[in-house]
Structure 1
Amino acid sequence: MQNPYNSLATPCGSSCGSAISAAANLATVTLGTETDGSILCPSSFNSVVGIKPTNGLTSRAGVVPISLRQDTVGPICRTVSDAAHVLDVIAGIDRNDVATTEASRYIPMGGYAQFLRRDGLRGKQIGIVRALFNITGQTSLTPIYEKHFNTLRKGGAVLVDNLEIPHFDEIYSDRRNTEKAALLNLARFAKDDYVNLVTKNKLDAVVAPLQNVSPLLAISGSPGVVVPAGYDDGVPVGLSFGGLRGWEPRLIEMAYGFEQSTKIRKPPSLKKLKF
C-alpha cells in the first residue's frame, strides 16, 4: 500500500488500509485495530485522526488476537468530529468480549460527541516528555512541534515541560525482547511509570509526536488520540494526546480544540502518486 501524500513515504501499519482509505476520501469513516501503535501510527503518517480507545471500551470479537491485554478497535477518520461520532456507535457491552462489561463504566452519559468543544484546550494540564520527541532523531520535526506547543498555550492549556519517565530507555529499547520475564518486568515499568507520571503531575494528557507514546498506552490499556499536525517535506506528521483509562472525553476535547485551532490538514493530491 502507498502513502497517498508521498509514494516513497511509509503509510505505517498495521491499519494502513483504513488510514489510506480515509485520507484519500475512499471512505467516510474507517476502523483500525491496535496492539501497539497500529491506529496511531498510520493515522499520523496519512494525515487523519485516529482514536485508540481504552482496552475493552470497544469489542474485539472477530478481531485476530495478538494480546487481549492490549488489543483494541478504534475509528480512523478525517476529522475529530467523525471519529467521536463513530466511537459513540462502537463503544459498549458485547457479550462476546467480556472486557467490554468492565470498561463500559467509562462510557459517559450522553456519549462522546458532546465533548467536541472548540475551547477544549482551556485549563488542561498537558505534559511534555522531551525524550518522546527525540526517539526518531528527526530534527526537521522540532520546529513543527515547538510551534504547536504555542498553539496549545494559546488555546489555554498549561504545559508541564521537561518531564521524565523512569526506566524510559529500558521501556523503549528492550520492548522487543522476547524473554517472558523481561517482558513482564518491562510491562510493570511502563504501566507504573506512565500512570505515576500522569497522576503525580496532575496531567490531563501527555503529548507526543507521531505515535511515540503508543508503547505506554498499550501496556497500560490507556487511550490516545492522534491529530494531523503538519507536513515534513510533504509527509504528514501527527500530534498524539495520551491519557489514562476512561479519559476519552478529555482527550477528545483537547484533540478537537487543537484541530480547530490549526485546521492544518489538507487532502492528498493523488495525481502526484506513481502507481
Structure 2
Amino acid sequence: MHFTKLTRPTRSARKASGSLSGLHGIPVLLKDNIGTKDKLNTTAGSFALLGSVVPRDAGVVARLRNAGAIILGKASLSEWASFRSLNAPNGWSARGGQGKNPYVLSATPCGSSSGSAISVAANLAVVSLGTETDGSILCPASFNSVVGIKPTVGLTSRDGVIPITPRQDTIGPISRTVSDAVNVLDAIVGFDYNDQATREASKYIPPGGYKQYLITYGLEGKRIGIVRNPFFTSGSGSLQIQAFENHFKTLRERGAVLIDNLKIANVDVILNFTLSGEAVASVAEFKIALNSYLKDLVVSQVRSLTDVIAFNQKYSDLEKLKEFGQEIFLSAEATNGIGDKESAALLNLARLSRDGFEKLLWDYKLDALVTPGSDVAPVLAIGGFPGINVPAGYDKNGVPFGITFGGLKGSEPKLIEIAYDFEQATKVRKPPTLQPF
C-alpha cells in the first residue's frame, strides 16, 4: 500500500456543523488504477506507469474530496486489473508484490481489487474504492469477508480510471458494513461530463440518495430467485451449502419470497469467458481504451499498449515476465479496432444477457438473484448489472465466503434493502485471524 500524508479529522468540526457530509474527515483508500492529481502514483501495479502524471483527479475522487473524505493512499491490486497475464496469482503486482488474505494467509485474496478488500478487512481503512469489469469487487469482497458494491455501469464515473472496457467497467465501494458502503456510494454517483455513460445511468439515482434504503425490514415482500445449477452444488463444500440453506431460511423468515430451482438460459456459455464472446470483445476494447488513457496523461514513459509491452520486455525481471507473461496484452495488441468478429461477439453478449438474466428476472418478477460469492459475476458483467456481496460464512479452514444479491440496471435501492436486512439479521462477519494455513 502507498500512503499520503494524513491530516487528522476534527471531531469538533463535525460537531460544530450539522451540514457536514457523512464522509467529512473519513480516510478512503483507492485501488491503484484510480487517478489522483497529487503526489500519489497511479500505476495499476506496473512499473511502466511509475511517475506518470494524470491530467486531473478521477471523477469519483473529485466527488470524494468534495464530500470531505481524505484520500489516505493507494491499495495494491492484481496488476493491470488482472488483464495482463493468464497465470499471475490473484493479488500480485510488480510494484505491490503479493497481497495476502488476512484470514488465511495462504488463501487467495482474489482480485483484482485485492488490496482494497484486504485493507478494509484488516482494519487499515474504514472504506476503499475498487473497480470491477468481471468480478473484481465481488470476488475479493467475498474472500476477505467484507461488503462490496458493484454499481450499475455508468452510475459512477470511470473518468481518470485505467480502463479495461468501458462497456463493463464500474467503480464501487468496499467496506466492513453495508451502511458504510452505501454512504460512500451516495458520494460517488452522478453525472460527469468526462464520462458520458453517466448521463444515461444518472436517471437511476433516487431523489434523496441511497441511505434511505438502509432499513431493517428491507427483505419483506422481496422476490428473490435461486439458480441451483451451477451456483449451488455439492462441489462447493458441505459447510458452504449448509450455510446457504440456513441463509435461505433467514431470508424467508424476514419476509422474502424465494423462487427456487430457476434456470438462466445458456448460463454455461455466459460463464465461459471465451465461448460467450467476452474475451474477443474485451481485448479489442481494452487496446482502444488504454491507448486513449495513456495519450491523455500529462507525463508518462508509455503512451500506448505497444509501449507497455516493450517496457515489460525490456524490464522483464522487474515485471516477472518469464514467470507470468503478458498473453492478454499480446492478444489485445493483435486487434485492430471493432471489426466483424468483435461486432458479432458484442451482439452475442447482448443476446445472452437479454435472453438469460434479464428474461429470468422479468419473467418471474424478481427483485434479485441470490448466488454464492462472485460466481454470478460474468452474468452481471456482460449486462452492466449491479450486485452487492455480503459476508456469509467461513469454510473449514477459516477462509471466508460471501453471498451476492444481483439485479437489473438501477436496482441498487432494492439490493441495498435486501443486503442490509440480511446483514443485520445474520451478523456473520468476524475479524481476521491471520492464520498461516
**TM-score interval, normalised by the smaller of the two chains:** over 0.9
* Conservation of the 8 A alpha-carbon contact between 1:58 and 1:90: yes
- For residue 95 of structure 1, what is the aligned residue in structure 2? 193
* Conservation of the 8 A alpha-carbon contact between 1:127 and 1:205: yes
Q: 2:174 aligned with 1:76, yes or no?
A: yes
After TM superposition, give the deviation of residue 89 of structure 1 in Å.
0.2
The amino acid of 2:348's aligned partner reads: N
After TM superposition, give the deviation of residue 184 of structure 1 in Å.
3.9
The amino acid of 1:100's aligned partner reads: T
The amino acid of 2:365's aligned partner reads: K
Distance 2:248 2:158 in 1: 35
60 and 146 in structure 1: CA distance in 2 versus 1, 3 angstrom threshold: same
- For residue 271 of structure 2, what is the aligned residue in structure 1? 172
- For residue 145 of structure 1, what is the aligned residue in structure 2? 244
| SS of the residue 2:194 aligns to | coil
- For residue 114 of structure 1, what is the aligned residue in structure 2? 212
| SS of the residue 2:173 aligns to | strand
Determine what percentage of the aligned residue pairs are the same residue. Answer: 63
| SS of the residue 1:207 aligns to | strand
- For residue 219 of structure 1, what is the aligned residue in structure 2? 382
After TM superposition, give the deviation of residue 134 of structure 1 in Å.
4.2
Q: 2:260 aligned with 1:260, yes or no?
A: no
* Conservation of the 8 A alpha-carbon contact between 2:219 and 2:255: yes
156 and 107 in structure 1: CA distance in 2 versus 1, 3 angstrom threshold: same
Distance 1:186 1:101 in 2: 23
After TM superposition, give the deviation of residue 183 of structure 1 in Å.
5.8
* Conservation of the 8 A alpha-carbon contact between 1:130 and 1:162: yes
92 and 136 in structure 1: CA distance in 2 versus 1, 3 angstrom threshold: farther
Distance 2:430 2:102 in 1: 12
After TM superposition, give the deviation of residue 127 of structure 1 in Å.
0.2
- For residue 223 of structure 2, what is the aligned residue in structure 1? 125
Distance 1:35 1:184 in 2: 18
Distance 1:171 1:135 in 2: 18
* Conservation of the 8 A alpha-carbon contact between 1:191 and 1:216: no
After TM superposition, give the deviation of residue 219 of structure 1 in Å.
0.9
Distance 1:263 1:227 in 2: 10
Name whichever of 207-216 and 169-178 sits farther off.
169-178
- For residue 248 of structure 1, what is the aligned residue in structure 2? 412
* Conservation of the 8 A alpha-carbon contact between 1:4 and 1:273: no
After TM superposition, give the deviation of residue 192 of structure 1 in Å.
3.0
* Conservation of the 8 A alpha-carbon contact between 1:116 and 1:253: yes
| SS of the residue 2:247 aligns to | helix
* Conservation of the 8 A alpha-carbon contact between 1:23 and 1:267: yes
Q: If the length of structure 2 is used for normalisation, what is the TM-score? A: 0.60
Larger-gyration structure (1/2): 2
Distance 1:91 1:132 in 2: 33
| SS of the residue 2:235 aligns to | coil
Residues 50-71 of structure 1, C-alpha deviations (whole Å, 9 max, x = no match): 0000000000011111111110
Q: 1:164-203 counterparts in 2 under 5 A? A: 164-173=263-272, 174-175=275-276, 178=280, 180=342, 181-182=344-345, 184-203=347-366
| SS of the residue 2:391 aligns to | strand
Q: 2:431 aligned with 1:237, yes or no?
A: no
The amino acid of 2:129's aligned partner reads: L
After TM superposition, give the deviation of residue 191 of structure 1 in Å.
3.6
The amino acid of 2:228's aligned partner reads: R
Residues 214-238 of structure 1, C-alpha deviations (whole Å, 9 max, x = no match): 1111111111000000111211010
Distance 1:165 1:15 in 2: 27
The amino acid of 1:162's aligned partner reads: N
After TM superposition, give the deviation of residue 93 of structure 1 in Å.
0.9
After TM superposition, give the deviation of residue 139 of structure 1 in Å.
2.6
Distance 1:127 1:98 in 2: 33
In structure 1, list runs of 5 or more residues that go unmatched: none
* Conservation of the 8 A alpha-carbon contact between 2:234 and 2:241: no
Partner residue of 1:206 out of 369, 373, 380: 369
